[in-house]
Amino acid sequence: FGLSNKFDTEFPSVLTGKVAPEEFKTSISRVNTCLRKNLPVNVKWLLCGCLCCCCTLGCSLWPVVCLNKRTRRSIQKLLEWENNRLYHKLGLHWKLSKRKCETSNMMEYVILIEFLPKYPIFRPD
């Protein structure tokens, strides 16, 4: 379903001076903990769904789809919490985004870190 089993904790050089490496690693480890907690359940349901797929005409894969959607939502909520807690104050926005893989035509989810535009607060309305 395109969801990675963990995200890389290596500090990107474009964030140097914007956010502390410790904060970055803490945020990524929270996301990885969420993935580590949810993905083994998804894999078990996927195997069970694949085994019963012929008998159920594909309906046995619905629990996997729902669990994957729940995992994505929990990561999005976690990223929104991180944004409200720290990153919006620093002018950054984290979000989960779907992208095409570089090596194949498959889609994968990545964490995008966007820079928010600065608003001129001294300019009158």
pLDDT at 84: 95
The string of pLDDT tens digits covering residues 46-65 is 666 666 666 766 676 667 77
Q: Taking Cα atoms as reference points, which of 5, 77, 75, 76 lies closest to residue 41?
A: 5
Beta bridge mates, 22: none
- Between 25 and 100, whose confidence is greater? 25
- Between 104 and 25, whose confidence is greater? 25
pLDDT at 40: 67
Structure token pair of residue 67: 């669990």
Q: Is the pLDDT of residue 30 over 80?
A: yes
Global confidence as pTM: 0.78
List phi, psi (to 5°) of 91. 85, 25
